[in-house]
Structure 1
Amino acid sequence: MNRFVKNINPKAPELGSYYLTFGDYYGIRGDVAFAQALLETDYFRFTGDVTLEQNNFSGLGATGSKARGASFKTAEEGVLAHLQHLYAYATTKNLPSRYPLVDPRFHLVERGSAPTWIALNGKWAVPGRNYGQTILDIYERMLHTSIQHLETTRQNLNP
């Protein structure tokens, strides 16, 4: 995941392990959430209303018209907030208690209203047409690039 984004933005922060760890804990595909972060941040180039210093990798509270949205103390906390927000959309279950609630918009979500990536259309980003499909397209490109890298590595190891 980190290698994929660094091919596009060499200055991108390395957040892949946070996405995988928190995704595993919340039962959400961390690799696909990472793809969503790439969409939301323009591959961590932050060309929209949110800045890198905010550690807001999912645009939480950035509603347009220069609204900066939420800020988090660390990159880890920003990723945690992203996964908690996805959890709110995905299920009506109580938030597991290992980590503190850091998503300031968790209680604003219609709980369980988007259990799939496609169901985020019109919910996470408005109007959000094809929002979930775009996330999955980025994920598929990331996966394809990873497979190509593995095949090249395997070929190089077997002369």
Structure 2
Amino acid sequence: MIRFHPIATTLVASVLGVLTLGDVPAHAATLPPIKAASGNQVPACVTPTRLTSFLKSRHRDIDPRLETVAAHYEQHGRALGVRWDYAFFQMIVETNWLRFHQASGRPGLVSPDQNNFAGIGATGRGHSGEAFNDVSTGVLAHLQHISMYAGETVDNPVAVRTRLVQGWGEIPGWAHRLNRPVTYTDLTRKWSPHDRGYSDDIAAVADQFFANFCEVRFAENEPAPSRLSPDPTPTGSTRTSLFRKLMF
């Protein structure tokens, strides 16, 4: 999985106002379990419309073809029973806000036309990763890959890499030995074991969304949930404090 470290690190600093490029967190952020369950649902204020606005707040010239990506994360995420909002935040880290290039302008290993939103198969050394026919299939590939790491058996995976790793048969045993639900933090340690900042980068993106796009205000054509209290003011110093207050 190839992601864009300079952008992600800068984002962490801008969100928290306390980190610099040289800072390394002592402990990785604790992200929620991959599988949705009672007490671990996608917050009602997370909608494709708001996620798209969030993307455009950092990438105004997004390819119109990719403007449906948030809707596909919701569609496939609901069907697979996963926290698709955090998969979306991971996608932002992996693709640098769907720019698919570094801050310097240098292209990443994965290009936009591959519809590969998680760097699946992009292992470096000339391996640019898999390509999928359309945006929806690319999102499905990402979410199926995540579901597999949650210990689920994925029927008919669309990604070759998912079929390969699932065929090794190692993930279910690893997930079982955790003796608890597999979290996105666990996932980042499997995908990028030497990158201690991976989960923190995802948490920073999530915090920025929840702080700026998850208030109780709804467009006229967007039905408001019947029970949704205003976002509380975060009081903790960790990146995930706002999320924990929103959910629990």
**What TM bracket, shorter-length normalisation?**
0.7 to 0.9
- Superposition pairs of residues 10-159 of structure 1, within 5 angstroms: 10-12=60-62, 13-14=66-67, 15-47=69-101, 48-91=108-151, 93-95=152-154, 97=155, 100-106=156-162, 107-108=164-165, 110-112=170-172, 113=174, 115-148=182-215, 150-151=216-217
The CA deviation string for residues 4-23 of structure 1, in whole angstroms up to 9 with x for no partner, is 01111123322111111111
Write 1 or 2 for the structure with the bigger share of helix.
Answer: 1
The CA deviation string for residues 45-86 of structure 1, in whole angstroms up to 9 with x for no partner, is 001210000000000011123421110010110000000000
Asked if 2 retains the 8 angstrom alpha-carbon contact of 1:19 and 1:30, the reply is yes
Asked if 2 retains the 8 angstrom alpha-carbon contact of 1:35 and 1:139, the reply is yes
Cα offset, 1:103, TM superposition? 1.7
Once residues 56 and 33 of structure 1 are traced to their aligned partners in structure 2, the CA distance between those partners, rounded to angstroms, is: 13
Asked if 2 retains the 8 angstrom alpha-carbon contact of 1:117 and 1:133, the reply is no
Cα offset, 1:28, TM superposition? 1.1
Aligned letter for 1:108?
Answer: V
| Structure of greater relative contact order (alpha carbons < 8 Å, 6+ residues apart) | 2
Partner of 2:190, secondary structure, is coil
Cα offset, 1:126, TM superposition? 4.6
> Over the residues paired in the alignment, what is the CA RMSD in angstroms?
2.2
In structure 2, runs of 5+ residues without a counterpart are 1-50, 102-107, 176-181, 221-248
Asked if 2 retains the 8 angstrom alpha-carbon contact of 1:20 and 1:29, the reply is no
Cα offset, 1:116, TM superposition? 0.4
TM-score when normalising by structure 1: 0.83
Asked if 2 retains the 8 angstrom alpha-carbon contact of 1:81 and 1:102, the reply is yes
Once residues 60 and 193 of structure 2 are traced to their aligned partners in structure 1, the CA distance between those partners, rounded to angstroms, is: 30
Once residues 54 and 80 of structure 1 are traced to their aligned partners in structure 2, the CA distance between those partners, rounded to angstroms, is: 13
Aligned letter for 1:23?
Answer: G
- Once the two structures are overlaid, the 10-residue window that deviates more, 122-131 or 80-89, is 122-131
Cα offset, 1:27, TM superposition? 1.5
Partner of 2:146, secondary structure, is helix
Matched pairs, number: 149
Cα offset, 1:134, TM superposition? 1.8
- Once the two structures are overlaid, the 10-residue window that deviates more, 118-127 or 69-78, is 118-127
In structure 1, runs of 5+ residues without a counterpart are 155-159
Counting aligned pairs with the same residue, the percent is 33
Cα offset, 1:151, TM superposition? 4.6
Once residues 52 and 198 of structure 2 are traced to their aligned partners in structure 1, the CA distance between those partners, rounded to angstroms, is: 22
TM-score when normalising by structure 2: 0.55
CA change 1:52–1:126 in 2 (3 A) is: farther
